[in-house]
Structure 1
Amino acid sequence: MWYWLFKQILIGPLLRVLGRPRIEGLENIPVDGPAILASNHLAVVDSLYLPLMVPRRITFLAKSEYFTTPGLKGRLNRFFYSASGQVPIDRRGGKAAQAALRTASRVLEEGKLLGLYPEGTRSPDGRLYKGKTGIARMALECGVPVIPVAMMGTNIMNPIGSKSYRPTKITVRVGAPLDFSRYEGLGGSRFIERAVTDEIMYALMNLSEQEYVDIYAASLKDGGPAPVGGTGAHDARVAALHPRIPDTEAS
């Protein structure tokens, strides 16, 4: 109930006025059954406009800290994140990656849509960054399709580092589902997980028309070196079609 009220009454009308949003490829989202929506991540409002434009409820994974902050601010946070379709990651008995997989499995086993950002964080400059392999692990272990989604214009409305919002035109572009059933039984292989993740990122690159950068966005935000000379569509295509054995990474 709160999810519907949140979309249609509490914040939906304002989002429609500010963003004049439209969605392309809605027919690619199944009317029922589990699936993962894999989206690029340009701004905080991605998590508002994507649920607004998709009729089915989308569940996002959120840090449990968002739901445990004490006081009035904590209660407001819990209401906001719960009403917008986010659930806390259950960290009991495991590390963050294992907890995320456990929570995602529960959501998908219930036949729901799971929303994920493969980059792991917002893009620092509007480009598309290397995807983390956690999404591949979830897709392979749960045996569900991955549907690429490109958010366009949200970084203009809400630039990173800014708390201001400016009217603009938001487009949500949904691509054809990606079927990874050919890898059935191969979940847990880092080589396979990297191949699946690169294929997802290649689809997102084509859909969003962003330049691709073959480093993690988080490493750049943490002060890591910027890519020399940049990387573009050719490198993403090579990565997707000829995946390499990945370095050790946190997903």
Structure 2
Amino acid sequence: MLAPLLKAVFRPHVEGIEDVPPEGPVIFASNHLSFIDSIIIPLIAPRSVSFLAKAEYFEGGNLRQRMAGAFFSAMGAVPVRRGQGRAAVAALDAGIEVLNKGGGFGIYPEGTRSLDGKLHRGHTGVAQLALSTGALVVPVALLGTDKVQPKGKKLPRVHRFTVRFGKPLDFSRYEGMGASPPIRRAVTDEIMYAIMELSGQEYVDSYHKRPDAA
């Protein structure tokens, strides 16, 4: 129900959707501009895409919390508990589980939303996922979603946006080399370059600080 409603109201411009593999494990690696990105990509992509979501969304007891949990479950979100020592490991494990079942998994290599509109250096978790599972990586560029739901706004507003899917990247040439930090960095940089080419964003070769650490 939401997918046709989104397209009718926001009239998004979508490019490269024909390049998305219809089956098999696929990592959707995207830039990140807004909270709503994790809703837009699963609704626009031609196949199911699972993103991580805070476990708290699935655990509430009141009506609002139950509705939120039902919504994220219907979107295929995978619950993960943040703020614990094993949070990063748990996130990777959740992604590997989805990909090993032949599913689609969404990830933001920057690790957090861009607050300055630039594309920042990617963390190597995306490479670890690709090298551990043999999944293809589809780079994704989002443009204008920060206008749909700017930071601090609880509700989206009507504003046209663009979703660009790039051609799948195959890293099978690195099979068996996933334990090497230089290989993981090379794979991550190749993915970030593909996202930069699609988005047209200025690239910054440093990690973006998380909002709570800024």
Q: TM-score, normalised by structure 1?
A: 0.78
Q: Say which SS state the counterpart of residue 206 (structure 2) adopts.
A: coil
What residue identity is the alignment partner of 2:197? N
CA distance in 2 between counterparts of 1:27 and 1:217 reads 31
Contact persistence 2:59–2:65 (CA under 8 A): yes
The answer to whether the aligner puts 1:52 opposite 2:30 as a matched pair is no
- Residue 191 of structure 1 corresponds to 182
The answer to whether the aligner puts 1:172 opposite 2:163 as a matched pair is yes
Contact persistence 1:124–1:221 (CA under 8 A): no
Contact persistence 2:112–2:210 (CA under 8 A): no
Q: Measure how far apart 1:219 and its partner are.
A: 4.6
Q: Measure how far apart 1:41 and its partner are.
A: 0.7
- Residue 102 of structure 1 corresponds to 93
CA distance in 2 between counterparts of 1:161 and 1:90 reads 22
- Residue 67 of structure 1 corresponds to 58
CA distance in 2 between counterparts of 1:70 and 1:124 reads 33
Q: Measure how far apart 1:69 and its partner are.
A: 3.1
The answer to whether the aligner puts 1:214 opposite 2:200 as a matched pair is no
- Give unpaired runs (5+ residues) of structure 1: 1-8, 224-251
Q: Measure how far apart 1:13 and its partner are.
A: 4.4
- Residue 193 of structure 2 corresponds to 202
1:39-61 deviations in whole A, cap 9, x for unaligned? 11111121222122222111112
Identity score, percent: 52
Rg comparison, structure with higher value? 1
Contact persistence 1:35–1:144 (CA under 8 A): yes
- Residue 143 of structure 1 corresponds to 134
CA distance in 2 between counterparts of 1:127 and 1:14 reads 30
RCO comparison, higher one (Cα < 8 Å, 6+): 2
CA distance in 2 between counterparts of 1:219 and 1:44 reads 14
CA distance in 1 between counterparts of 2:53 and 2:180 reads 26
- Residue 144 of structure 2 corresponds to 153
Q: TM-score, normalised by structure 2?
A: 0.91
The answer to whether the aligner puts 1:129 opposite 2:117 as a matched pair is no
